[in-house]
Chain A
Amino acid sequence: MMAITLVIAASLGAERLPLFDLSEQQRSIFYDIRLPRILLGACVGASLAVAGAGLQALLRNPLAEPYLLGVSNGAALGTMLAFVAFQDSEAARPVLAFAGAGIASFAVYRIAKSGAGMNVERLVLAGIIVTTFLSSVIVMLTTLLDAVKLRSFTFWLLGDLSQATRNGVYLSGIAALIGTLVLTSQARALNLMMVGERDAFDFGVEVGRVRMLVFGSTCLVVGAAVAASGSVGYVGLIVPHLIRLSIGSDNRLVVPFSAVAGAIFVVFADTVARTAIAPRELPVGAITALVGAPLFIFLLRRGS
């Protein structure tokens, strides 16, 4: 299915390309513009989906998602600072995005942690507090941008894969791979923790360590994804849900399957974004939200 999606995505674009005998210009369009963008979409989709799957398992909350927990907004703010302050440095974006995601998660973690342990409601609440705070900082910063920059930035905030470069693909590819591997390696522990953290502890699961690993890899993949493509919403929320509905909630399967399904979802959505009003483009985040919101409502109704 992944292969079919990639082939479909590769054959569609703003410009029609023949299957064989591509001219030099057409080769350039395919290899320098279309292919990196599709691959970046796959990496971003996989990253966001596994981050959602990991957080939902860890927090035992089906609504847990990089957005809800402030991770994405932390990354967005980091990228925005790079956008404003280090315009010329290609490395500044992912580094600051990762730092932003890390600081936001750490803040959420500290706010949520009260004396003895941490309960899930408190964590989600802390996530909402940090998310809204970071949103207002972002909005405040956007008022300082001039009109053209504001327009570019708004587009990026809504999720935009058009800035795909080879380096960007490598970077988010590595991040997605590491994230998926780490989260899959913790899947058994997450399975036990879903039953209850105390029970998991009795089974010899180092709850604190698992938590750090899951949070850490989430920050890594979300930081890389946001730096490359802005905020592509709903992927981390609906993809793991769909997977759990179809194959059950064993995280050893949910995490890798989410990675693949997330990749398919974003590549598909971006194909629409690239072609729907060509030669103009839509932000891919608008498409994922447009498809994601009704799908999520459908899932909710079916679930209850």
Chain B
Amino acid sequence: MKSRISAGRAILALFVEFIFLFSIACSSGNIANNPTMGGTRQVNDDLGRPVTVPARVTRAVSLAPSITESIFAIGGGDRLVGVTTYCNFPAEARTIAKVGDTLNPNLETIISLKPEVVFVSTASQIESFTNALTANGAAVYVLNPESFEGVTRDLRQLGELFGTTDRAEKLVADLQRRALYVSQVVGGRPVVPVFVQFSKEPLFTIGRQSFLNEVLKTAGTVSVTGDVESAFPKLSKETAATLAPEAIILSQSDDNREPNDAFKDSPAVKYGHVYSVNADILSRPGPRLVDAMELIAQKVHK
């Protein structure tokens, strides 16, 4: 009986707290729509959500390394006031205040940095505290590119938001030129079946939903696990042993220095066609995707 009463109280307390937080959220939401200087405008982010942003972003937080790289690339890096602990590129990103990592950002730290916009990738769980950020005057903007085209679209969009459209256009044109060059160079050559290994044990690779499939295609290669469901599957070693890739691409890390034993009879291992590629370049859908295209093409089609 006693425990029932206390459970009831706890629920009541939670309810009161919820109402309280809700009212805060509602009241400060209006403030966000009436900034003290400059105008605001409404734009749609990658999820199609309408987001109210300042006419020109002056304080931003990035919650993904790929977003940090993109913002620096379009010339908005000096307006980044907070990034994640994994944001290590370009070098200047390391000196910016850290707000935790993509999965566990620190809400208090973010709010204390007074950003106008917080950029998130959908990989993060930020949705749950979007309300709290909005209540503190920070718009939450989702950038979730799933292809090279998506990356270029987002770079242009960031250029608009940061008021650096010229630089963003130049960057996009440059990236497209480089990607086109790669595909032209490898164009006449036979397509090489490759296996991308992210972790040796347990064996993780890329599947159908990975943005790397397109990168591999541009580089004149094709993923041998392109028909496996999900973006980042754990693959059966039995299946791995039947794939016979002609090249293996290792995402560089200290526990992924060599191919899994399941590939011991594959042409890739027999002829030594095993290449390491910087893990950050392989895992971040940002401007360095083109670096990945160039690196893979160079290594596989040398």
Contacts and interface: CB of A to CB of B under 8 A. Distances in A.
Interface stretch (B5-13, B29-37, B106-114, B194-202): B194-202
A276 to B, nearest CB: 11
A14 interface: yes
Interface residues of A, number: 29
Contact of B202 (A143, A162, A277, A279): A162
Interface in B239-290: 239, 241-242, 251, 253-256, 261-262, 264-265, 279, 283
Interface string B219-242: 000000100111011111111011
Contact of B234 (A29, A143, A155): A155
B72 interface: no
A143 B104 contact: yes
A7 interface: no
Interface string B133-157: 0000000000000000000000000
A257 B202 CA distance: 32
A274 B202 CA distance: 13
Given A29-B241, A147-B283, A163-B202, A278 B265 contact: no
Contact of B261 (A32, A34, A143, A152): A32
Contact of A151 (B199, B225, B262): B199
A184 B169 CA distance: 75
Nearest to A230: B202
B255 A87 contact: yes
A250 interface: no
A143 to B, nearest CB: 7
A13 B283 CA distance: 30
Contact of A148 (B204, B207, B228): B204
A209 to B, nearest CB: 40
B199 A15 contact: no
Nearest to A156: B202
Task: Determine the interface band of chain B, counting residues with CB < 8 A from chain A.
Answer: 20 to 34
Contacts of B204: 148, 151-152
A164 B251 CA distance: 23
B253 A148 contact: yes
A280 B283 contact: no
A164 to B, nearest CB: 9
A33 B262 contact: yes
A278 B240 CA distance: 11
Interface string A199-224: 00000000000000000000000000
Contacts of A146: 86, 253
A29 B242 contact: yes
Contacts of A87: 254-255
Interface in A35-62: none
A132 to B, nearest CB: 21
A65 interface: no
Contact of A162 (B203, B228, B241, B242): B203
A87 B251 CA distance: 17
A281 B201 CA distance: 13
A185 to B, nearest CB: 36
B242 A281 contact: no
Nearest to A165: B261
A304 interface: no
A281 B199 CA distance: 14
A151 B233 CA distance: 10
Given A148-B251, A149-B255, A279 B201 contact: no
A155 B225 CA distance: 20
Contacts of A167: none
Contacts of A29: 238, 241-242
Contacts of A156: 202
A279 B228 CA distance: 7
Interface of A: 13-15, 24-25, 28-29, 32-34, 87, 143, 146-149, 151-152, 155-156, 160, 162-163, 274, 277-281
Closest 8 CB pairs of A and B: A14-B236, A279-B239, A15-B238, A14-B238, A280-B233, A279-B236, A33-B237, A14-B239
Given A33-B241, A277-B229, A280-B230, 8 more contacts: A28-B265, A32-B261, A143-B104, A147-B283, A151-B232, A155-B202, A156-B202, A279-B238
